[in-house]
Amino acid sequence: MTDLTLAFCRQTRALESLAGVILVSLDAAGYVEEINPRGCTFLGFPRAELIGHNWFERCEPTAENQQAEFDRLLASAAGFPEHLLGRVKTRSGEVRSIFWHTMLRKDSQGVVKGVLRSGIDLSGSGTALATLVDDLTKYQQAQQELAQRQAEINRARKQLAYASRMSTLGEIATGIAHEVNQPLAAIASYATAGSRLLKNGKLSEVEMRELLDKINVQAQRAGAVVHKVRRQISPPDKKRRHINMNALLRDTLDLLDIAHDAADTEIEMDFAPGLPAVEMDIIDLQQVTLSLMRNALEAMRDNAATAKTLRLCTRFVAPHSVLVSVTDSGSGVLRQHASHIYEPFFTTKSGSMGMGLAISRSIINAYSGELRHCPAKLRGSKFYFTLPAIVERATVARADQLESATC
């Protein structure tokens, strides 16, 4: 006797005392492998006309949709509903409502091989069951609508984050052109000088090598700018990887210099040595850090009489998290605005969409982190976030060994 037959017999014996229970076993493709006499009688088919036939073609009123839903649920076995309200079509064409209890059938390796279903007929059985059918139907519809809305929200969030990133790139487009033009102009100048000297017979081998080296340096400089911009406009496909936060902040500073004239701003970097990596999508993380840095510079833009300082800090903090803080010496966040700055479309700056902090917090939260802010010690604001650190079990520090110095 096969495992399938044994399992089917066990469920049959367990439920044989229940009147009106339909028992059916389907393989992973939806074909009938076993069905009890009650099921055959209820459907009006001899057993021979059900075994080996596709259940959804023979007994479901909307075969194509039901088959597709069965395949989808079976592919994600963890999300297969234990209880399900469905409909079956008898041989006479009558459609009946069935309340199914479903049990997944797996082999020794955990691979789903099919399902065992036990069903109770809910049609035409009085007001109480009719009400139950109606309630279950409404519940299923509500669950489907909720799942659809959640999917729409997730798509909208991704599109909004991508639009925000594209908006940021639009603002730095002029700076990009300026930054790339400098090395290109230098390359053209070196090439023209070399050509002229070569034509006059005054270019030695040493001078030629120096010119070529200078051209190479400028070409690499232009290529680095293009490479960093390409990373910013990459499609929003999430690829988690281990990221060195100190290196990422330095790269982000390079991007920041493209968009802002920070010649009168002092940049302080206080990076913890040996900082553990974090695991997330590098574009997401760079979007957050770039947004916080840009906000800090904008907060100091009108401080003509005060020294402008942008301070970046990293720490390894309890419980095994990486902390990053961005501090400015601007005018700070007004108390009446503090509780609203993370709300979408809230802004105190003209020409701003007010989405930067909302998107940044959403991104950090998606990776089990937190984004917060507080007044800086002397003047301005400090925005800081934490993310789970990637640490080996053997090197996990005790709480009293973690970096306690504040950022």
H or E segment and range at residue 324:
strand 321-327
Torsion angle (degrees, nearest 10) of CA 255, 257, 261, 263: 160
Q: What is the pLDDT of residue 197?
A: 81
Mean pLDDT across the chain: 76
Q: What is the pLDDT of residues 187-223, one digit of tens each?
A: 888 888 888 888 887 778 888 888 888 888 888 877 7
**Exposure string over 240-256, b if 16+ CB within 10 A, otherwise e:** eeebebbebbebbbebb
Amino acid at 311: R
pLDDT-derived band of residue 369, with 50, 70 and 90 as boundaries?
very high
Q: Is the pLDDT of residue 17 over 50?
A: no
Q: What is the pLDDT of residue 265?
A: 83
Query: Class of 240-401 per CATH?
Result: alpha beta
Q: Is the pLDDT of residue 33 over 80?
A: yes
Q: What is the pLDDT of residue 164?
A: 65
Query: Class of 3-125 per CATH?
Result: alpha beta
Contact partners, residue 87, CB within 8 Å, separation at least 6: 60, 61, 95, 96, 97, 98
Other beta carbons within 10 Å of 203? 16
60 or 36: which leads in pLDDT: 36
* Residue 370, φ and ψ in degrees, nearest 5: -135, 140
Q: What is the pLDDT of residue 5?
A: 53
| DSSP assignments along 256-317, one per residue | HHHH---TTEEEEEEPPTTPPEEEEEHHHHHHHHHHHHHHHHHHHTT-TTS-EEEEEEEEEE
Q: What is the pLDDT of residue 289?
A: 92
Q: Which one, of 164, 80, 87, 141, lies nearest residue 114 by Cα?
A: 80
231 or 32: which leads in pLDDT: 32
Q: What is the mean pLDDT of residues 122-133?
A: 58
- Is residue 341 within 8 A of residue 360, CB to CB? The reply is no
pLDDT-derived band of residue 275, with 50, 70 and 90 as boundaries?
very high
Q: What is the pLDDT of residues 221-252, one digit of tens each?
A: 777 777 666 665 555 556 788 999 999 999 88
Q: Alpha carbon of 66 to those of 42, 61, 106, 147, 402: distances in Å?
A: 20, 9, 22, 18, 55
Spell out the domain ranges in the chain. 3-125, 240-401
Spatial strand order in the sheet of 83-89: 32-35, 21-27, 112-121, 95-106, 83-89
> For residue 134, what are its two tokens?
């109606």
89 or 351: which leads in pLDDT: 89
> For residue 77, what are its two tokens?
């076995």
Q: What is the pLDDT of residue 397?
A: 47
CA 83 from chain centre, in angstroms, equals 30
Q: What is the pLDDT of residues 154-167, one digit of tens each?
A: 777 667 666 666 66
Q: What is the pLDDT of residues 304-344, one digit of tens each?
A: 657 888 999 999 998 789 999 999 988 877 776 666 677 76
* Residue 104, φ and ψ in degrees, nearest 5: -70, 140
